[in-house]
Amino acid sequence: MKNIHLVKTGNIRPTILFFKSKGIPVEKLMALSKLPMSVFNANDDEPMPVHAFWHFVQLCGDANKEDDLGFQLVSEQGMAVIQKIADKAIAEAITLHDAIAILVKFISSYSTHAKYWLDSKDDGIWFTGGKVEINDLDFHLMEQIALSNLICFVRHYLGTNWQPKAIRLQQSKNLTVTKRNYPKSLVATNQDVTAIFIDNGELGTSHPELLSLYDDLELLKSNSFQQKLYLAIKPYFGEGLPSLQQLAEILGLSLRQIQRRLSKEGVTFRHVLHKLSFDIAKEQLIHSDKKIIDIAADLGYSDKSHFNRAFHQWSGMAPSAYRAQMMQESK
C-alpha cells in the first residue's frame, strides 16, 4: 500500500537553489508541482512532501533541456539531497565499507522514501540507491542525481577520478549521458534499481561494532498515517491549506487511499485539518504579534467570527483570551 513520503527541507533546498542559478523559473514550477514556497525559509528539519519535490525536479528538467542536468548538479554542488548525511557518515567512519554502511542507516532519518542498501557478492558489493516507486513521474533526472551521489560519496575515499566497474540504471534514457560521464564503467539499463559496483579491494574492513550505534534513526519511524499527513500539510500554512483533492495530487496518492488509511485509524481528513489549524493558531497567538483576523485568514477562515467560534470549540476560550492567558503565564 502506498504511503506518505517526506524529506527534510535542508536536504532539498540546495537543489532548488541550483536550479534557480541555472535560470530555471523555480517559483513558477514550484507552484505547478505544488511544492510549498515555505521551503525557502523553513527550518532544515521541517518535513516536505517527496512527491511534490520529485514533480518539481521533473518540471525543471523539462524546462532546462540539458540531458545531464543531474550530473551537473552534483558536480557543482556536491552530493545533492544527501550532502549533510554523507558528511556525517564520512566523519564517523573508519573505512569506505563503514562509511557506506553508516550512510545506509543515516539516509532513512532524512527521508521516508530514500532507501540505500548493500548487496554483497564474492568479489565486491553493489551499492544501491533504491528502487523508485513513484511511477506516475519521469524520474530520469532524479536517477542522475542519485547515481552521481553514490559515485561522489565513494570518490571521497578512492579519488576524484574513480569510476565504478559497473553501473545499473532503471532509466534507459540515461544510458548515453551516463556512458559519457563514466566511460570506463559497464552500464546496464532497465534494471530494478540504481546501483554501482565496488570491488572488495576498494572497500576496506568492516567494523560491525561501529554500525550498531546507528540502529534506530528512521525519520518518523513510529508516526501514524494521520501524523505523517499532518506533517505533509503543515508547510502549506500561509499559502492556503490544500483540499483533500489537492493533497492527493501533492502526495501522489488517490483520494480513496487517503480516506481508507485515515478510516483505519478512526479519523477523518477534517479531523487532521482541525488539529493542524488549532496547533498553528496556538503557535501564532503565542509566538507572533499577528492580528487575530490575519491568523484567521491564513488558516482559510472567511471572517474572524468563524475562526473565533472554531477556536472556542477547540480550547473552550476565545483566541484573544487564550493569547492573554499565555502572555500572563510567560511572565
Contact 114, 133 (CB under 8 A): no
CB atoms within 10 A of CB 131: 12
Pairwise CA distance, residues 196 & 167, whole Å:
5
- pTM score over 0.75: yes
Q: What is the pLDDT of residue 4?
A: 84
Q: What is the pLDDT of residue 329?
A: 81
CB atoms within 10 A of CB 181: 19
The order of strands in the sheet holding 186-188 is: 117-121, 124-128, 195-199, 166-168, 186-188
Pairwise CA distance, residues 275 & 201, whole Å:
55
In which residue ranges of the chain is CATH 1.10.10.60 found? 225-329
Pairwise CA distance, residues 150 & 129, whole Å:
7
Q: What is the pLDDT of residue 29?
A: 97
Q: What is the pLDDT of residue 219?
A: 47
Q: Return the SS3 of 257.
A: helix
Q: What is the pLDDT of residue 124?
A: 92
The phi-psi region of residue 46 (left if phi > 0; otherwise alpha if psi is between -120 and 50; otherwise beta) is beta
CB atoms within 10 A of CB 97: 21
The helix (run of H) or strand (run of E) holding residue 119 is strand 117-121
Inter-residue long-range contacts of 244-251, CB under 8 Å, 24+ positions, other chains counted: 244/269, 246/34, 249/34, 250/34, 250/49, 250/51, 250/52, 251/4, 251/5, 251/49, 251/51, 251/52
Nearest C-alpha neighbor of 197 from the set 208, 186, 206, 189: 186
Q: What is the pLDDT of residue 207?
A: 59
Query: Which regions of the chain are under pLDDT 70?
Result: 1-2, 80, 108-114, 130-137, 206-222, 331
CATH superfamily of 225-329: Homeodomain-like (1.10.10.60)
Q: What is the pLDDT of residue 98?
A: 85
Is 266 exposed, middle or buried (CB count within 10 Å of its CB: 0-12, 13-18, 19+)? Answer: exposed
Residue range 104-149, pLDDT digits in tens: 877 766 666 667 888 889 999 999 986 655 555 678 898 999 899 9
